[in-house]
Amino acid sequence: MNLAAATNENLASISNVLIYSSMAVYLLAFFAHMAEWVFGSRSKVGRTAAALTQQKGDAAAATGTVKVQVKGKDGGTKTLERPAVVTRAVAGARDVPDGPGASGGDAQGDLYGRIAVSLTVLAFLVEAGGVLTRALSVQRAPWGNMYEFNITFSTVAVGVYLGFMLAKKNIGWLGLPLVTTVLLDLGLAVTVLYTASDQLVPALHSYWLYIHVSTAIFCGAVFYVGAVGTLLYLFRDAYESKLASGGQPGKFATSVMERLPAAASLDKFSYRVNAAVFPLWTFTIIAGAIWAGDAWGRYWGWDPKETWSFITWVAYACYLHARATAGWKGRKAAYLALIAFGCWLFNYYGVNIFVTGKHSYAGV
């Protein structure tokens, strides 16, 4: 074994250690997120939610703030001034303020939340180091097979989440589902999809590898964030509908749902991220077609991967069109968004694992 081969093998081993280490840190972040939800004061969630939802009237609309009285542990009361946050998905929708967040506005829960985000940042850096060393071990872009695609995808997904947090966007509700799915994704990668470092087939030796695959990974990460928001929107919308009809949800549902943003806020967030990344997904398909022309002498051949990429594009286009159509806003459009993300997932996993085509050369 020459020196270069030995160095590459050592880098591959370091990459594996870093990926496993990031999983351990993500697991700690998962427990911290769980603690944020569990130990954040549920009673305070109830008091805050009750105080916020009863605030309606011209005074709040005029001043932009509402004053609420909250009873403290010592039996006294204090007046809090907080912004009157009201959002609508469509004209005539319910006027419901956003919830106080996963910590429930509780100091202890907020502390666990900050620890969880800090651990997520650390895990992200460790995993990014694993992806980088994997790239150095093969001296190419680290997405030549499903294992490399998985570890890169989860890194980018966490990076998108942290980017929103850095931009001061209120998406703390995404932390727990994100870390959970990242752990599942990495677990699948290191157990089922692991492939030893190897060189690419000639068809992949092109600068289009960096353009086409990198944009596909980024689009998938953003679509994932939008899908989580859509799923939570459906739960929160059902909760709000039950309250509006005079129903009484259980204590657990109340504790969880009242901490989330309003259904209209979740719906708006999901729509905006999906709409923002859709043009880039369009570019991804076009870039893939150009690469196919260079590699195989034809731009489009209805290969399974090409077909499902187009199906995913059509599904998201239908969703965006539905959002612009009055009769399809809300839950109907949300179902279309989840179907579209399901198409992306099948294109990601199903086509590569179960379907044979020109995109099967990378192996699992």
Q: Is 64 exposed, middle or buried (0-12, 13-18, 19+ CB in 10 A)?
A: exposed
Long-range contacts for 108-114 (Cβ within 8 Å, ≥24 apart)?
108/39, 108/40, 108/41, 109/35, 109/36, 109/37, 109/39, 109/40, 109/41, 110/36, 110/40, 112/32, 112/33, 112/35, 112/36, 112/39, 112/40, 113/32, 113/33, 113/36, 113/40, 113/172, 113/175
Residues in Cβ contact with 325 at an 8 Å cutoff, skipping those fewer than 6 apart: none
Residue 181: C-alpha distances to residues 176, 178, 286 (Å) = 9, 5, 29
228/230 Cα distance (integer angstroms): 5
- Amino acid 59: pLDDT: 40
Determine the pLDDT at residue 9. Answer: 80
Pick left, alpha or beta for residue 168 (phi over 0 → left; psi -120 to 50 → alpha; otherwise beta).
Answer: left
Q: What is the pLDDT of residue 89?
A: 47
Contact 102, 37 (CB under 8 A): yes
Residue 39 token pair: 């130990």
Query: Is the CB of residue 241 less than 8 Å from the CB of residue 153?
Result: no
Cα–Cα dist 93/63, whole Å: 22
Q: What angle do CA 34, 269, 233 make, to 5 degrees?
A: 60
The secondary structure element, H or E, covering residue 275 is helix 263-296
Q: pLDDT value at position 53? A: 53
Q: What is the pairing mode between strands 77-83 and 65-71? A: antiparallel
What is d(CA 356, CA 272) in angstroms, rounded to the nearest whole number?
A: 35
Mean pLDDT by 10 residues, the chain (364 residues): 69 90 97 91 59 48 48 56 46 70 84 94 96 88 85 94 91 93 94 78 74 91 95 93 84 86 91 94 92 79 86 94 80 93 90 69 52
Please classify residue 82 by burial: count the beta carbons closer than 10 Å to its beta carbon, then call 0-12 exposed, 13-18 middle and 19+ buried: middle
Q: Which pLDDT belongs to residue 49?
A: 56
* pLDDT for res 87: 43
pTM listed for this prediction: 0.83
DSSP β-bridge partners for residue 69: 79
| pLDDT given for residue 104 in this prediction | 82
pLDDT for position 42: 63
Residue 175, Ramachandran bin (φ over 0: left; ψ between -120 and 50: alpha; else beta): alpha
| CB distance 355 to 304 below 8 Å | yes
What's the DSSP call for residue 330? Answer: T
Token representation of residue 104: 């429930």
pLDDT of residue 342: 95
Print burial letters for 262-289: b (CB count within 10 Å at least 16), e (below 16): bbbbbbbbbbebbeebbeebeebbebbb
User: Which of 218, 223, 146, 228 lies closest to 188 in space, CA to CA?
Assistant: 146
Q: Determine which helix (DSSP H) or strand (DSSP E) holds 21, and give its type and residue range.
A: helix 3-39
> What pLDDT, on the 0 to 100 scale, is given for residue 302?
82
Residue 144's pLDDT is 78
d(CA 244, CA 141): 52
Identify whether the C-beta of residue 158 lies closer than 8 Å to the C-beta of residue 220. no
Say what the pLDDT of residue 76 is. Answer: 59
Q: Which helix (H) or strand (E) holds 83?
A: strand 77-83
